[in-house]
Amino acid sequence: MLKPWRLYRTVVRWASLDTRCLSRSLLPVLVGLCLGMTVSMMYAPFSEDSCETYLANQDPQKMVNLRNTKSVADPPVQDDQSIFEPRLLVPRAAGPGENPVAADGANNPAPAAPVKVETKGGKFFRPKFAATELGIRQKLFVAVLSSRDTLNTLAVAVNRTLAHYVTKTVYFIDQKSANVPTGMVIVNFADGYNHLLPVNVFKYVIKKYGRGYDYYLFITDRAYVRAERVHELVSHISVSRHVHMGAPKGVEAGKPYCTLEGGIILSQSVLTRVNASLKWCSDNCHHLDQNLNFGKCVLYSSNLHCSKSVEKSAYETHSLNGFDYDKDILALREQTDFNKSFSVFPMPDEITHYKLHRYFCEVELNSTRHQIEDMKRDILYMSQFAPGGRDSVSWPIGVPEPYKPKNRFDVIRWDYFTETHIFFQDDFTNVKELIGADKLDIQDIIKVSIEKLNEKHDNKFLYSYLINGYRRFDPQRGMEYIMDLALEDTTLSPPEENIDMNYKSKIVEKRVFLVRPLGEVEVVPMPYVTESTRIYLVLPVLASDADSWGLFLETYSALQAKSEDSLALILIFMYEQLPKAGENDVFSVLKSMVGFYNDKNENGVKTSTINFATNGTYVPEYKIIDLVSEHLSDDALILTCTMGMQLNQEMLNRVRINTVAGWQVFFPVGFWQFKPNLIYDKKPYPSEIEFNSKAGHYDVLSYEHGSFYNSDYKAARRSLTASQLANCDVYEMFVKNGNIHLFRAVEPEFKHFYMQLECMPSTPTALYERCMERKSLNLATRAQLAKRIFQYKAKQSSADNAHGQH
């Protein structure tokens, strides 16, 4: 070990040297570092076995428990429940003018209190959504104060122009109305005291929605509100602020209060204060003016006066007495304050409301266009400083550049089209007539092309015909088009000797490139559903399905044993004629199998059977569903099946999730197997369906599998006449009804064995043609069919040659 006095001599010797590399200011640091190392070396021999001695003296079980603690000083964990037990902050009631205070003494307007985690029998039950447990609220709630006389006029106008911009809208009236508009949440207090409506609204909103929203907008139905701008306004205000914002109308107790006609915005913290003073509001707010009653209650509860702005965010309003849209709009459109207003009031009638909404939509559209042009200029300006310069900017400006394929399998194919047909749209069709949305799409882009060309060339072109057209869908950009157009140039004046030559000489060709960009992706809100709903499988059975009976029932029985009472099977035996007593029953084997599986699954729901006679003719699909519908409750979930389909739990769970009562029905697209003797060369054929393009395809023309609730089926059935129902299937019935969403998508877990389709001549024309098309497409791929034809011809040629030799 280095002696301390030698270390000291060395340090002094180096300190005495006159060197440029060592600064005098570093000497104290170096001396301290060396002394610290020396002292630690001297102490080390006395503490070598200190850790080993400590561990040897400890209880082994105690050391195991210490793994769950943050430090040695922490007490050991007694059980798992103490780990997960949350700390619930219970806000105490706040007095007038006082901030609500939580149980821990935090004097801040906190978010919604966390939801307590319940424990039952040692198991932890938490809310379904994380937002519920964390207290995350929706942004804006709107309460509209209306009356019996204006509910079907002004209130409907407010609903049509405002409701789709905010999270929740509720309408309040003080007297019952004979005619209630559909699609609106209406609360009727029925006390006849119109001046007390604001206090009643406070009580209802606080009780039902008091913890679910950050901000609350209270208005009357005589206000026109630009809801998208209001939502944007509150999105930029901190939720920790106490907000009482609107258009001041009068003064109460020396403080201004807001007018309900212009709209009043309250934060959740202010609404909490109002809740603590509701009794005072009920006893003291009895003026005939609703605005005064509302303002007096808020002023007493929150001690906050009405303000037009919070955090530099202003709520602009515009009051117009005796407003006549047709006379006044020309002067008003020149006023900047009017164009920037969030609310305009009062509205004389609903027609004026709609006209004003159209005007402000045009204002927003023009503003958006100016913003787009400004962004384009900014992108062009900034591109000169980016790698590649301005040449790196893709067209159109602001739209992502085209997708670059990584290999030949990723190349996006261009589809060739004319004005009437599209060619090679997929792997199974050569040419297809343009109909519906495809035809409207082509007509629209031709129209836009002519308009853009005439804007650039002083309106000198007339459309003649389409020479070539190509389109493709780029997942990064949208739909792209390339078109060669034949246009007539009206500025050319050739000699008039030959009329045909005169016309042809005026034709010019122009190639145009268009992009229809993808819009903003929006999440469609859906009602919450569970995966525990019982599914009633409805299975029509034909005598020709005998080969598939055993496999289907065995699969169903295995699923039912796992799911217990969440599955039920209803078999409909399709007889040509019902058998008489003593006659042979073609379904006797299947019925005995049903009895066997019913006895096997004692805890499951018993399989039901129904006999039905077709009389050898086509039976509309709705008549088969009617046999089941009348025996089931309205909340029953029905899934129509066929004998060759493969049942599995994943598919059934997605059926439950994608089918929503009163909202959506689900028609999955399954993977159908091709005919085995055409796609396989040798027997035995695989017992399972191989998932590849040579073994089958997704049958987009198949509509016989669908899931829906019985109540939705009954409503759609009542909306159509008997003749309409006879010429369509259940899918088309929901389409024609139009009151419910139809969700049709590929289901990866839905597979179907090959099934020989029977297309009866008595079937309606459209359904018969679709059946015949499916029958041909379900055989095999074109390559496989061609191979079989060549093999047949080769075999026939060999047979003919052998016969000739003999």
State yes or no: pLDDT of 355 exceeds 80: yes
pLDDT at 16: 52
Relative to beta strand 138-145, strand 168-173 is parallel
Continuous segment of H or E residues that includes residue 489: strand 478-489
pLDDT at 99: 41
Averaged pLDDT, 404-412: 89
pLDDT at 61: 57
Mapping DSSP onto H, E and C, the string for 99-154 reads CCCCCCCCCCCCCCCCCCCEEECCEEECCCCHHHHHCCCEEEEEEEECCCCCCCCH
Neighbours of 47 (CB within 10 A): 8
Relative to beta strand 741-743, strand 168-173 is unpaired
pLDDT at 44: 66
Give tens-digit pLDDT for 606-656. Answer: 889 999 998 888 899 999 999 999 999 999 999 999 998 999 999 999 999
The closest alpha carbon to 705, from 669, 736, 673, 653, belongs to 669
Q: Is 604 exposed, middle or buried, given 0-12, 13-18 or 19+ CB atoms closer than 10 A?
A: buried
Burial code of 374-392, b = ≥16 C-beta within 10 A, e = fewer? eeeeeeeeebeeeeeeeee
pLDDT at 299: 93
List Cα–Cα distances, 646 to 344, 554, 708, 753, in angstroms: 60, 11, 19, 8
Averaged pLDDT, 279-298: 90
Amino acid at 799: A
Between 249 and 95, name the one with better pLDDT. Answer: 249
State yes or no: pLDDT of 103 exceeds 90: no
Averaged pLDDT, 36-43: 78
Q: CA quadruple 314, 315, 321, 324: dihedral positive or negative?
A: positive
Q: What is the dihedral of CA 775, 780, 783, 786, to 10 degrees?
A: -60
Going by pLDDT thresholds of 50, 70 and 90, the confidence category of residue 65 is low
Burial code of 242-271, b = ≥16 C-beta within 10 A, e = fewer? bbbbbbbbeebeebbbbbbbbbbbbbbbbb
H helices then E strands: how many in the chain?
A: 27, 31
State yes or no: pLDDT of 158 exceeds 90: yes
Averaged pLDDT, 197-226: 93
Averaged pLDDT, 719-740: 90
Residue 729, helix vs strand vs coil: coil
- The CA distance from 184 to 171, in Å, is 7
Given a contact cutoff of 8 angstroms between Cβ atoms, the answer to whether 470 and 414 are in contact is: yes
Given a contact cutoff of 8 angstroms between Cβ atoms, the answer to whether 342 and 308 are in contact is: no
Q: Where are the beta strands (DSSP E) in 648-724?
A: 664-666, 669-673, 696-698, 707-709
- The CA distance from 700 to 756, in Å, is 17
> What 8-state DSSP symbol labels residue 195?
G
Q: What percent of the chain has pLDDT over 70?
A: 84
The pair of three-digit structure tokens given for residue 702, joined into one six-digit string:
């198949």
- The CA distance from 699 to 685, in Å, is 22
Going by pLDDT thresholds of 50, 70 and 90, the confidence category of residue 604 is confident
- The CA distance from 162 to 169, in Å, is 9
- The CA distance from 198 to 172, in Å, is 9
Averaged pLDDT, 531-540: 88
The pair of three-digit structure tokens given for residue 45, joined into one six-digit string:
């021999």
Averaged pLDDT, 176-196: 82
pLDDT at 562: 83
Going by pLDDT thresholds of 50, 70 and 90, the confidence category of residue 224 is very high
Given a contact cutoff of 8 angstroms between Cβ atoms, the answer to whether 103 and 90 are in contact is: yes
The closest alpha carbon to 467, from 415, 413, 416, belongs to 416
List Cα–Cα distances, 164 to 34, 169, 226, 266, 273, in angstroms: 74, 9, 11, 20, 29
pLDDT at 334: 92
The closest alpha carbon to 299, from 261, 279, 273, 317, belongs to 273
Burial code of 628-651, b = ≥16 C-beta within 10 A, e = fewer? bbeebeeebbbbbbbbbbbbeeeb
- The CA distance from 108 to 99, in Å, is 7
Give tens-digit pLDDT for 431-477. Answer: 999 998 999 999 999 999 999 999 999 999 999 999 999 999 998 89
State yes or no: pLDDT of 524 exceeds 90: no
State yes or no: pLDDT of 509 exceeds 90: yes
- The CA distance from 86 to 117, in Å, is 7
The pair of three-digit structure tokens given for residue 7, joined into one six-digit string:
């270390």
Q: Is 706 exposed, middle or buried, given 0-12, 13-18 or 19+ CB atoms closer than 10 A?
A: buried
Q: Is 447 exposed, middle or buried, given 0-12, 13-18 or 19+ CB atoms closer than 10 A?
A: exposed
- The CA distance from 288 to 392, in Å, is 67
- The CA distance from 565 to 605, in Å, is 6
Between 506 and 664, name the one with better pLDDT. Answer: 664
Residue 343, helix vs strand vs coil: strand
Neighbours of 362 (CB within 10 A): 11
- The CA distance from 485 to 481, in Å, is 12
pLDDT at 111: 44
Average pLDDT over the chain reads 83
Averaged pLDDT, 267-274: 93
Q: What percent of the chain has pLDDT over 90?
A: 46
State yes or no: pLDDT of 484 exceeds 90: yes
The structure tokens 């088009």 sit at 481
Burial code of 299-313, b = ≥16 C-beta within 10 A, e = fewer? bbbbebbbbbebeeb
Give tens-digit pLDDT for 765-785. Answer: 999 999 999 999 999 998 899
Between 106 and 363, name the one with better pLDDT. Answer: 363
Averaged pLDDT, 528-551: 84
The closest alpha carbon to 94, from 295, 307, 271, 299, belongs to 271
State yes or no: pLDDT of 573 exceeds 60: yes
State yes or no: pLDDT of 1 exceeds 50: no
The pair of three-digit structure tokens given for residue 138, joined into one six-digit string:
């929706």
State how far Cα 542 lies from the chain centre. 40
Going by pLDDT thresholds of 50, 70 and 90, the confidence category of residue 76 is very low
Going by pLDDT thresholds of 50, 70 and 90, the confidence category of residue 179 is confident
The structure tokens 């965010």 sit at 313
Between 253 and 735, name the one with better pLDDT. Answer: 735
Amino acid at 765: T
Averaged pLDDT, 139-156: 93
Going by pLDDT thresholds of 50, 70 and 90, the confidence category of residue 110 is very low
pLDDT at 173: 92
